[in-house]
Structure formats: C-alpha cells, structure tokens
Structure 1
C-alpha cells in the first residue's frame, strides 16, 4: 500500500469532522423529530461536535469527565435540602445552541414580560387600580403569602421594583418557546450560567470564535452599573445579602459576589442606624448603599415582616423607606411569581401594553374563580394540578403532578381540599418539551430540557438579557415538563451568529480605575471565621502530632525502643485533656490504638475529624475569599487507609498543604492576619502546655525527645547540639528561640505584629486592650530564661494568650447585641 492509500485509509479515524458527523447520525437515528439537533441541519451543531471530537477523540465519556473536573475546579456546587454536604454542579459537555435570530425573539419577549411585571407590581403597591377595576381579583393579591402589606405606598429607591429576574422557558415540539415560571423573589442561577460557560470554554476553547458565541460579561457589567446608578453616593458600597452557607445556591452566590466585586454579607453583618444601613467591620460600621438580596423578603426585617426571623436586619425597611438603601429586587415583588398570576398576564399585557405576550404562558386556570375551577375539574386528567402560590396545599403530598397520575386516597383528598379551598390550586396544561443531546455513559441520548434566562436593568434603567442562561436537563426520556422536576444535568447555552463578537471582559478599562492596595471591607463575621479557621487547623495538627508520637512515629525511636510508661502517660493526658478521647483503661498497645482511633475519628469527641469538620464548615462559608485549592483541601474526605499511622501521615500531608497555601498563596490582607493570629495563638497555647508536661525539671530523655517532636524541632536540635539531649537547651529552642517558628517567642512576636497591623478605633495613639495584652505577653516571654522558665510562668503565658484572644474577639468580632455606637466608633 502506498503512502497516499495509507493517508486515505486512516484519515477518518482521526478526522474530528468525521467523528462529529457519525455522532450526529447515530443520535438522530434514535431520537425524535422534536429534538433541537435533529429537526434541521444547522451546521453550527456539526461545528460544535467537531470541537468536542478534537478534545475527546472518540471518547464522549472522557469529555464529560473533563468538563465536570473543570466545574469542580471552579468550585461550583449546590445543596439539596436536608443534606449535610454539597453536591458538585452537574454540567453536560454538550451546550445548547440557539441561533442569534431566534434568540432575538426570545430577548424581546423577556423584556416585554419584565416591563409588564414592573407595571403590575408598581400598581399593586401603589394606586391599586388593577384590583379596583376588576382586572385582578383582590383575593389573588391579598391571599398571596408573597404580598407584603407593609410595602404598600412605599416608593422604592431608584423608582423601580424589579432589577433582576429569571424566567423558565420550555421549547415545544414545533420549536415555539413558552413561559413555564417566573422568578422574582431571589432569582437563582445566573452564577451557574457563568460557571457553566467557564467550564465549557476551558474544554472547548475554540468554540467561542468558531461560532461567534455571545459573551456573558457585558450583561453582568450592565447589572452592576444598574444597581450603582440607583445609589445616592458616587462610589457606593454594594453587597450581596445571602442567607448563609446552608442555602442551596450559596456556592453560586459566593461566585457571583467574587465575580461582580460585591461584598458577601449575612444579616448578622448588617446594622440599621438612623435610617441608614451599615456593615459591621473590623474598622467599625461602614455604610452600605445597596443590597442584591438572595434572602426571602419575609425574613429581611423582623420589625416589618416575620418577627421570628433570626437572619434579618431590624430597621432595614425603615432605611429602605427613607431611600438610603437599595434592595434588589424590592420586597414584595414576588407576588407575581405565584403560578396563579399566569392566568391573568395575557389579558394584562393587552390592557397595559396594548399587545399580546410575545412569549406566551402555559395555559393556566386559577381555581379561585368559579368558571376556571369548573374547567379544571372537567379536564382534571388532562391537566397539571399544582399549588397556586408555591406553598403546598393540604390536599397535596408533593409538588405539581399530572391529574391522571393522582389516584385512590390521594385523589379523594385533593378533590376534597380543592372543594374546600379552591383558591389554593391551579390547573395548567401539560407541556411537551423538545429534547437535546446529553452524554450518558459513552453515548449521546436525547433528554427533555428547559431554559432559564435572566434579565437585568443597566445603568440607564433599561432591560438587558443575558445571552444564553443555562439549560436544565431531565433525567428521564419522558418529555413532559411536569415529570422533569429539577433535572439532573445543566448545560451551557450558546447564542451564535454570523457577526464576530468583541472580546469583552468585566474588567474595567486599564486607566479608569484608581489603584489601591486595600482589598476592601472585612466584615467582623468573616474575621471571626478566618481566626477560628486558623485555630481549628492548628489544633488538629497539634493533636495529630501527639497521636503520631504516642503510636511510635518519632524519628528518635531506634532498634524497636519504646517510650517509657511515664512519658506515654503524659501523652495520653495531653490527648485526653484536649477533650479528644476518654482515658484508656491501660497503657497497653491495644488500648493506646483505640485511644488514637477515637482521637482521630470519633465525632462524639473533639477529634481530628470533628476539628476538620469545623474547618470545613468555615471554608464552605468563606468561598468568596478562599481559593478553590484551599476549599478542596478543607472539603477532602477523611482518609481511609488501613493503618492508623498511614491515616495520620495522610492527614499530616494535608495539614502541610493547607499551611503552605496559607503562607505562600494568601495575600497579606486583614483576613489573612486574623487567620495567622488564630494559628499563632493556638500554637503558643499548645506549646506552653507541652512544655509544662514534658520540659520541667526532672524531665527524662524520653520526655524531652517527645517535646522536640511536638515542636517539630528534632532536626534543629540535633544540628545545634550533636552531643546529646539536655533540658535547658531544649527549653531554649522550643520556648525562647525567636528564630524557631514553633517557639513561644516566635508566636508572641507575630501576635503583637499582627495586632499592630489591624485597624484601631481611637485616634489617641494609645494601645487598645488587645494590643496591650499582646505587649505584656511578649514582655514575659522575652525576659524569661530557659533555666528559670517554670510551670507557674507557663501557666501565666497560657492565661495571657486566652486574654489576648478574648480582647481580640471583643474588639473585632460580633458579640451578640453589643451597642451599635461605642466610643470612637467609625461611621463611613
């Protein structure tokens, strides 16, 4: 065979276009005509699959795993209610492609709908003409849990109620798009759309330019400018108000806050004072001008809404009413989110806008009206039966369900409750959805999908639409929207066209941003978290060191030698005294191993597993300030090696990696200073206890060797004193040597230095209590000598370390209901 024949024969095996054509042909042979890929021969799909083939060759499973790895690297996750751990965000490697011309129609429909909803909400909380004139039933408004009566008559700052909305769309078998749901309360998902785009772009790097895919950055820049434009100050401070790390979409919120440059705050971070809202920071109260809230509006202010709310801000609505803080979206705007309102929007569009809806709703009948209720009952088996206001009525055991699927006692109970409280129910048409390709195993399979799109106000107050959003893909082939649920995959949505797309970034123009080296406001809660992250990590590492030494992992052990029972007893006392395990019945090897196992992994005690869980929880709540590598290390599962020492070694390497990231990859910001303070205070406390146990007069060579192990100073000592081990040189090295990072002297100096770098409230240049405590601590350590350092002095050092920690907490951390205005408090 000649060379030309060889090339001809082998080309199809490596030609990405050939792979793409074969994938599409095989897929469409098994799919239906209602599939976005198969219903026409758009070359964009072939180009996209060719990009996939260039990365995956003929292995679709590999490309799926690769995209998922990128999503994990980004830190994308979500939480299911009642589940303790987050799940990774599931991303399909196959994006949904929508041509720019088709997208333009969707965009116009979304803007029209947003305009209509703003008009209706303004009337419901303003003049109330729509209810008075009979266009909207009064019971539909006043009976909705989303209607907030305290907001009636309040003019929102900036003059608008809606700034950011999300709409779920379904694509029918013939290609038409219809609205399935509106999201106005706290619209979620824009961050996931952004993360999907990043994950897919990292995998299919050439797709952006090959198909002229429209970018997301201009939309987010416009939204940020839109919020800023409503604020009264020229350089406003804007926050993203989150319910906290247990919220299902908290990782998305943290990602958005970091991407948009917003301050991620919780209710406890804020305080209302004289009709203004402030963030509680380490530098005092700092004025905040706008909050993009992801908190249920009923929980925003216990003085205005739900008095039981523990996560709101008392007085927030007063500040809002006075026009001093922007809330996006305005509380109460979710009244139009109720499914029952979908029954009235088509007619409202004609009355208020003089036009039909460009994106029609799925047909909806609110059972609070006699005629609509009769129609639902007559067509019960052909409709989707669901709650009128999202909250589940007494007659339903779950979410919306097809009437034909309700039988027996469930049907009897639902019909009885519908007769008793018809206003709690709606009937909606069952929608057939188009399908799209998704990778399952190593093959492409069709699955139904819905599309979530997002719209936001720009700096001029006009609506702009995110080009794409994200697709939510169902688990089962059944193409009814009712049975799809939330779906188990998501996909990037690419809007493509013939026109080149400018490489726009969210970054500000090079010469238009003032240079600064202050990373911005640090809320007191965040400072508290970073401080305790340092303490938990250091405490876990110290406990692990004691366990490893007890199990015989000292580098000083030779020839099978073991520690003396007295020294082992002291080690046991150190571990038991930390609350990590109960006292063992004896010092036999089996009992010591059981003690070590409890101290490592028994969650009923302050074990390493428990300490790591505390650190992990702090990491989950600090995603906006920690790198993805740090979060992954904190969230790594507990090691499961067979041997105890192997597990201990794995944990030690993890602690070392975290310490390395902290030391070499964290900027020297105020957050890092609190983290380092936590480490230094905890390390110094542990070292003072160890010296009292193992370093006092009469200490044996075993005691001193263990002390060097606990201080990780064996090598330093051997290099300095090769002739043998003696108590005074050991004490000098682990307690008073300022060059040993494990010594008391080193920690005391660093504690004083970190506190000197933190902001103070007074202008009198006098030391604050935490600084004075640290100076006293440093003075005692610096004036001590190794020969005279006794248990009483070490006890005093421990007490002073506790006093420094207490003073630090009183000055910088949230202390419950402390006065908002204290002496010298800064308001900015």
Structure 2
C-alpha cells in the first residue's frame, strides 16, 4: 500500500497553515479571518500567496504593488502636485456569496429609497409638507440645488451610480457609514485592485470562483445608453482634470468603458444640446458621467464663478437632450444629518425596515435629539450635519466628544446653542479587522468596505460584487480613528459554482468593424501636439549642451571647438530662454551655464521642459501606453556628471521617440503628436543652418551643424573628401531622404495636414494646408548655394505662422464663435 509523501517545507499549504495559526493566536474576536480560521477559502488564498512569496509575505506585497504601478494606479492628495502610487494589500477581503447576497439586497433597497426621496425633494416635496423631512434639513444643505427643482431628468432617474461605505461590526453585522451620490469615486480603484491581485494570485479567480466586475460595468454603460434619445449615443466622463485626487482612476475607467474623457472646456452647449469640441467640429454628446462637484457644473445655473463647468448644460438637461449621472443636487442626501431620517422614510415609502441599518445618528436641529447629544456628549462622535465645517467646529471629520476639551469645547457649545442644526451626534462604531501584510508579518487592521451600485438598461440596480476595502493604519478598531485608511484591498466574493469568463467586450463576431479610432477632442489634439514639441525641444537643447561640452562624434572637434562656434552655441541656448548669457566663454563659466540650461527651475531648461511634457502625459494617460507614461514620469537623473545626465536623458528621449513611432496607431492623435515634433525640429534645423551654415562659417561650425542635425555619419558615408558648406547645407536642409533634414520635416507636415479632417466641403485648402504647401514650394525650389539668412528667416516666420494656424483651426478652446463658418454639428 503506497504511503503519502511527507510535506515539503516548500509546500505552500505549510506556510499558509502556519500564517493563519500564528495570526489567529495573537488577534482578538471580530477578525474576519479568525471568525472562521478553518474556512477553505482563506486557506486557498494564503496558499496562493505562499506560492508567490514563499515564506516571506513582503515579496507578495512588493509584487502586488509593482503590478498596481504597472497598471497606472495612482492618486493625489489635495494640495500636492505629485501623484502617489495606490497602496494595495496583497491580502484580499473574502466574502462568501450568501453573505454578499444580503449586502447587495440592502444596497439595492437603499439606492431605490434614495431615488424616491430625491424625486420627491426636487418634485412635489410632499415629504417636507407632511413633516417626514424637516425643511431646515433641506434648506440648510449647501448641496440642495434649487435650480433643479421641478426638472424631470432625461430617462426619469436622478441616480445612475452610487457608492456606499459599510462597516462590519465585531460580531459580523454590516452597517452603513456614508452615502456617496454627488461624484462617487473608487469604482476604478476596485477594478485596478482586481487586475493587480489577478496578476499576483493567478489561480485564485478560478480556485474560489470569484465573481467578476465586468457585468457590473457593462450594466452601467448600457443603463446610461438606454436613457439617451439617440440609438448610438456618445457618452463622456467629465473630469475636473489631472489635478483631481482620483484623476488616474477616472482615466482608467474611461479607457475601460470606452467613454470619452472630457473636461469642461471640451464641451459646449448650443441650442439646448451638448457638444464636444473636436478636430472635426462640434459632435453631439448624449450622456455625461460627471466627476465634478455638481455646484461647479454649470455657471449659469449654480456657481457663477465656476471656470471648469459647461454654461447651459442644465438647459440641455431640462430639454431632455443630455443625461447626467448623477443629476446635480443628489448630494443633499449625503449629509450625515439625513441618515437620521432614512429608517422612518424606508418604512413609510417602502413598507419595510432598512436591510442595512445606518449608524445611529441624532440631528441637533431637533430639540429632543439635541438634548440627548448634549447629555451623552462624551460618549458620541460630534460632527458637521451637512459635510461643511460649522463656525464652532474645526474641520469636517467627526471627533470623539470626550476629546474636545478646553476652548474648543467652549466654542463648540457656544455655536451649538446658536445654530444647533449645523451639528449631529453619532454612535462610536467599532469595526472588524482583517489581516494585512506589515514589515513584521501579518497584522490585524480595521477596515471599511466601499460598495457600488449602478442602474442597468432596464432601470433596475446592479451591485458590483466586491468593491474595495480601506484598511486603517493603526489597530484601533474605531471607525472615527481609522479615517480614510492607508491601504486598500481587493474584495473577492466567492461561491461554489464556477463563474463564466465574462468580459466587458462583446463577442468578436457581434462588433461592427471600424478603422476610425473615434472622436478626438480638440484639447487632446492640443496636448499631443505640444507633447511632441516639448519632447523635440528638450532633445534639441540637450544636443546643443552636449556639443558645447565636447561630446562631438568628431574626435578632432569635440573638446576644441573654436570660440566663435562656442559663442554661437551659447547664443542658441540663451535665445531659447534656457539660461542667461555667461560672463565669458571659458570652460569654468560654461560649466555652470550648461548646468543652468539643464536643471534650473527659473529658466526654460531641460528639466522645465521635462516637467511640461510630464504634465501633458499625466493629463492624457487615457490615450498613452503605460510604457510612455512611465518614461514621462521617470525622475530627472541626478547621478554622474552633466554629460552622463545629458546622455541618460537623450536615451530617454530616444525611447519616447521610438514608442511614438512604432507603438502608436496612425490615428489623428498620433498625427498631432508627430506634427508637433516635425514643426519643432524644422524650427531647430532652420535656426541651426542660419547660425552655423552661412558662407562665413568655419569648419567647426559645419561640424557642429552636422552634430546638431545628427547627420555626421550620413555625411561621412556620402562625402569622403572632408567638410564643405554646400553639401553640409544640402544634407541638413534640403535632402528629403534625411529624416533630420528640414525638407523631410516639411514634407511630413504637409502629409499630416492633408490627412486631418477639414470643415468645409468645397474642396479648397484650409489656411493651414495652404501655408504648408507654400513651405514645400520654397524648400523644393531652393538650392544649398543660395540658401541664405533671408530665406531661412522667412521659413522660420512661416513655421511659427503655421503653428498658430494649426492652433486656430484645431484647438477649439476658449471663446471662439461656436457657429464659426463651416463648423459641423453631428
């Protein structure tokens, strides 16, 4: 009879069993793992972790964080300019599907209740009239938007997408901590968490039959489309821009759902319809997933100081021509004070108690409730009633009453006596804990769960199976102490039945094949154009610095350039605004001059150009590859001498150029990116020829010109008799076969402009096309012998004029007439 082999120390099950046993021996009751330590699901999850990490859980933590960064997950703290990596724990929160069914039913019930209350508040207001909701609760909220009263939303629904924060008590019960209705954030993070965990724990999905997120997102997209009037609607995700804390999430969601990522300046309301400004004119937008503060959404209806909204958007909504998710004004129900009334409203409107109860809340705008809050002050959380700080309270986060002492306590009680409606008292909630990987191994931390619900095409609610968990930094299980949390975790809903491999993408044979990449907003075209220009400008400035410091290919010219040539190189740097003129041309003066041109923050240095390119990349991440974003985000090199740093940057520029040339589809976005590169390179070559290629130029000048145009090798292969002005100028300026030559750039510019859309249908060239044709005519009839400063100066002026013409035609932003001649409305 065969015997079972002894378990190996490398067996993942050995590590998993030890981790669970050690963890539960230390932790108290109320932990989700230790409540059922023999649960095969948790055992399977830790076995998957052990297969990845061996005996060191930090390996798993590093690996999942690397995957999150590869996906592009990030966030920004308000007030900070730099984006932080999204902190993800390698240990997901596991919830069995029967338990989840109860959570989902409670979320659906709550979503429907919130919809019913909103419809009444902005409709007949019967709930206020009958005394079920105090009028002060509505009038006192800064999120009740009176212009929305009486407006019936297109599709008939105020809410299409909501988020709810849940807390799990130590005995396993779930309760609602907060509702998010204005611009619910986090669904993209839930999606990105799942992607990173799936890449780290590859076998977990099938081993536990984890429910997928794709059906939820498909239902939401279909629900928005069903509310629109047109059969094939155009849907956009309206973002505040790249400085918004969750911009990375918004860009990821737009890419995943196939939505147009737009900012307020991209949109225009005209004749009660909403349009996006594109390179092909104005195009209809049928629905907006709004991520702006709704009070800033339309300066004509709400805050007149808003510079990021869309004037006239509410009129377009009122006319039924654009769906906005969620309808402005929904945030009135987010206030902590409102949760005190939801249990009674559920009974009256739905004939049932809330399946997911709130944390107990007392609004101080009522005499009896205020008296209770004052009596139990030290045993309650005290906070703002409407999500904004009252005069007697510091900040908007609730605080434990017992911890408010001295002058702060006196100020609060004084303000409470004057404006009691501005305050609420809430019970102090204790949370369950879950395991998280720390430097010392597994440790218990409190968590909250953010759950998402979306309205599908049939109008019913669908709940995302999972969401994401926020994990506290400290072991203290009080929700008020945990705050926003320092880590996140994937939430995996599992069950006994296999899960169909559902994808957000429809079956391949049901998709209508198209080679048109879709709508390109004017702002995005503008960004790609200037990204190309900045990258080319930075590369050109680096080339000048490297030649000046002696990095020429020509061994006889590198470190011994004549003073006239060095002076001309310095002039190129100074005229470009990269550094002030040095006191002399001695090496001791040129070194700090070059350092300023490379690194100074106060000049248009290489570092400053990099920062501009990086900013554009962050604002266009929904259309750039992860590799390109990573290169743009790479830190400025600080090690080695200046030539080493310059070389490192030059290789980075070359990599970016290769990615754009070989990995970007030949779409209009790529054309604008390459157009920017070609115009900037054409300007650089024109200046270089005018400075170094004139009849009075020296051999050093001509060699420098070949260096700056990266044409030394081409020249040496073609001419074996040495350097002469006419062949050098011909190669650098007029040879259409040289990819660094002026003629090559102008031909590419003309090709791009011929391929881009036009507004008129008369068959005539538009101004930018005519100007490009004029440049082709000049350069194709010129000769190297007659190419002088006058012709080159005229070419430079024409290139600047062409750039302005491209901007006027394609980058439709600001106050240009919406009904300009030939502007198409589609």
TM exceeding 0.5: yes
Deviation of residue 421 (structure 1)?
1.4
Give the Cα–Cα distance (whole angstroms) in 2 for the partners of residues 141 and 65 of structure 1.
Answer: 48
**Is the counterpart of residue 810 in structure 1 residue 784 in structure 2?**
no
- Determine the structure 1 residue equivalent to 2:731: 733
Deviation of residue 649 (structure 1)?
0.7
| SS state at 1:12 partner | coil
Deviation of residue 816 (structure 1)?
1.6
| SS state at 1:511 partner | helix
Q: Deviations over 1:153-182 (max 9, x none)?
A: 110000010110000000000000000000
- Determine the structure 2 residue equivalent to 1:819: 817
- Determine the structure 2 residue equivalent to 1:14: 10
**Is the counterpart of residue 273 in structure 1 residue 270 in structure 2?**
yes
- Determine the structure 2 residue equivalent to 1:26: 22
The one of 795, 798, 818 equivalent to 2:796 is 798
- Determine the structure 2 residue equivalent to 1:77: 74
Give the Cα–Cα distance (whole angstroms) in 2 for the partners of residues 58 and 558 of structure 1.
Answer: 59
- Determine the structure 1 residue equivalent to 2:208: 211
Give the Cα–Cα distance (whole angstroms) in 2 for the partners of residues 773 and 92 of structure 1.
Answer: 56
- Determine the structure 1 residue equivalent to 2:655: 657
Distance 1:715 1:126, change over 3 A: same
Deviation of residue 722 (structure 1)?
2.0
Deviation of residue 642 (structure 1)?
2.8
| SS state at 1:108 partner | helix
Question: TM-score when scaled to structure 1?
Answer: 0.98
Distance 1:30 1:749, change over 3 A: same
| SS state at 1:39 partner | coil
- Determine the structure 1 residue equivalent to 2:343: 346
Q: Is the 8 A contact 1:368 1:425 kept in 2?
A: yes
| SS state at 1:386 partner | strand
| SS state at 1:13 partner | coil
Q: Is the 8 A contact 2:547 2:558 kept in 1?
A: no
Q: Deviations over 1:262-284 (max 9, x none)?
A: 00011100111110000010000
- Determine the structure 2 residue equivalent to 1:38: 34
Deviation of residue 558 (structure 1)?
3.9
Q: Is the 8 A contact 1:239 1:262 kept in 2?
A: yes
| SS state at 1:637 partner | coil
Give the Cα–Cα distance (whole angstroms) in 1 for the partners of residues 24 and 584 of structure 2.
Answer: 71
**Is the counterpart of residue 247 in structure 1 residue 244 in structure 2?**
yes
| SS state at 2:197 partner | helix
| SS state at 1:158 partner | helix
Distance 1:255 1:700, change over 3 A: same
Deviation of residue 559 (structure 1)?
9.1
Give the Cα–Cα distance (whole angstroms) in 1 for the partners of residues 586 and 234 of structure 2.
Answer: 62
Distance 1:161 1:561, change over 3 A: closer
Deviation of residue 4 (structure 1)?
9.6
Q: Deviations over 1:481-503 (max 9, x none)?
A: 00111111000000001011000
Q: Is the 8 A contact 1:59 1:442 kept in 2?
A: no
- Determine the structure 2 residue equivalent to 1:50: 47
Q: Is the 8 A contact 2:162 2:453 kept in 1?
A: yes
- Determine the structure 2 residue equivalent to 1:681: 679
Deviation of residue 814 (structure 1)?
2.5
**Is the counterpart of residue 297 in structure 1 residue 269 in structure 2?**
no
**Is the counterpart of residue 220 in structure 1 residue 217 in structure 2?**
yes
Q: Deviations over 1:472-530 (max 9, x none)?
A: 00001111000111111000000001011000000012222211001100000100000
Unaligned runs of 5+ in 1: none
Give the Cα–Cα distance (whole angstroms) in 2 for the partners of residues 588 and 45 of structure 1.
Answer: 70
Give the Cα–Cα distance (whole angstroms) in 2 for the partners of residues 104 and 90 of structure 1.
Answer: 28
Give the Cα–Cα distance (whole angstroms) in 2 for the partners of residues 345 and 710 of structure 1.
Answer: 71
Matches within 5 A, 1:281-680: 281-398=278-395, 399-558=397-556, 561-680=559-678
Deviation of residue 561 (structure 1)?
4.6
Deviation of residue 142 (structure 1)?
1.2
Give the Cα–Cα distance (whole angstroms) in 2 for the partners of residues 636 and 422 of structure 1.
Answer: 52
**Is the counterpart of residue 702 in structure 1 residue 700 in structure 2?**
yes
Give the Cα–Cα distance (whole angstroms) in 2 for the partners of residues 45 and 4 of structure 1.
Answer: 28
Give the Cα–Cα distance (whole angstroms) in 2 for the partners of residues 560 and 47 of structure 1.
Answer: 64
Q: Is the 8 A contact 2:523 2:813 kept in 1?
A: no
Matches within 5 A, 1:90-129: 90-129=87-126
Give the Cα–Cα distance (whole angstroms) in 2 for the partners of residues 42 and 419 of structure 1.
Answer: 53
| SS state at 1:272 partner | strand
Give the Cα–Cα distance (whole angstroms) in 2 for the partners of residues 342 and 640 of structure 1.
Answer: 53
Give the Cα–Cα distance (whole angstroms) in 2 for the partners of residues 344 and 392 of structure 1.
Answer: 21
Give the Cα–Cα distance (whole angstroms) in 2 for the partners of residues 396 and 159 of structure 1.
Answer: 39
Question: TM-score when scaled to structure 2?
Answer: 0.99
The one of 156, 159, 174 equivalent to 2:156 is 159
- Determine the structure 1 residue equivalent to 2:182: 185
Q: Is the 8 A contact 1:470 1:490 kept in 2?
A: yes
Q: Deviations over 1:294-349 (max 9, x none)?
A: 01111111110000010111111001000000011111111101111010001111
| SS state at 1:394 partner | coil
Give the Cα–Cα distance (whole angstroms) in 1 for the partners of residues 414 and 528 of structure 2.
Answer: 55
Distance 1:174 1:554, change over 3 A: same
Give the Cα–Cα distance (whole angstroms) in 1 for the partners of residues 413 and 590 of structure 2.
Answer: 65
Give the Cα–Cα distance (whole angstroms) in 1 for the partners of residues 810 and 422 of structure 2.
Answer: 49
Q: Is the 8 A contact 2:266 2:813 kept in 1?
A: no
Q: Deviations over 1:46-65 (max 9, x none)?
A: 00000010111111111101
Give the Cα–Cα distance (whole angstroms) in 1 for the partners of residues 423 and 819 of structure 2.
Answer: 50
Deviation of residue 395 (structure 1)?
1.6
| SS state at 2:8 partner | helix
Q: Deviations over 1:660-717 (max 9, x none)?
A: 1000000000000000000000000011001111110021111111111100111111
Give the Cα–Cα distance (whole angstroms) in 1 for the partners of residues 408 and 48 of structure 2.
Answer: 50
- Determine the structure 2 residue equivalent to 1:768: 766
Moved more, 385-394 or 82-91: 385-394
| SS state at 2:299 partner | coil
Unaligned runs of 5+ in 2: none
Q: Is the 8 A contact 2:122 2:151 kept in 1?
A: yes
| SS state at 2:526 partner | helix
**Is the counterpart of residue 143 in structure 1 residue 174 in structure 2?**
no
- Determine the structure 2 residue equivalent to 1:131: 128
Q: Is the 8 A contact 1:386 1:425 kept in 2?
A: yes
Distance 1:815 1:146, change over 3 A: closer
Moved more, 403-412 or 177-186: 403-412
Give the Cα–Cα distance (whole angstroms) in 2 for the partners of residues 740 and 512 of structure 1.
Answer: 46
| SS state at 1:365 partner | strand
Aligned length: 823
Give the Cα–Cα distance (whole angstroms) in 2 for the partners of residues 763 and 650 of structure 1.
Answer: 48
Deviation of residue 433 (structure 1)?
0.4
Give the Cα–Cα distance (whole angstroms) in 1 for the partners of residues 87 and 813 of structure 2.
Answer: 39
Give the Cα–Cα distance (whole angstroms) in 1 for the partners of residues 809 and 154 of structure 2.
Answer: 34
Deviation of residue 453 (structure 1)?
0.2
Give the Cα–Cα distance (whole angstroms) in 1 for the partners of residues 308 and 585 of structure 2.
Answer: 49
Give the Cα–Cα distance (whole angstroms) in 1 for the partners of residues 251 and 732 of structure 2.
Answer: 41
Give the Cα–Cα distance (whole angstroms) in 1 for the partners of residues 412 and 69 of structure 2.
Answer: 43
Q: Is the 8 A contact 1:190 1:454 kept in 2?
A: yes
Q: Is the 8 A contact 1:60 1:442 kept in 2?
A: no
| SS state at 2:9 partner | helix
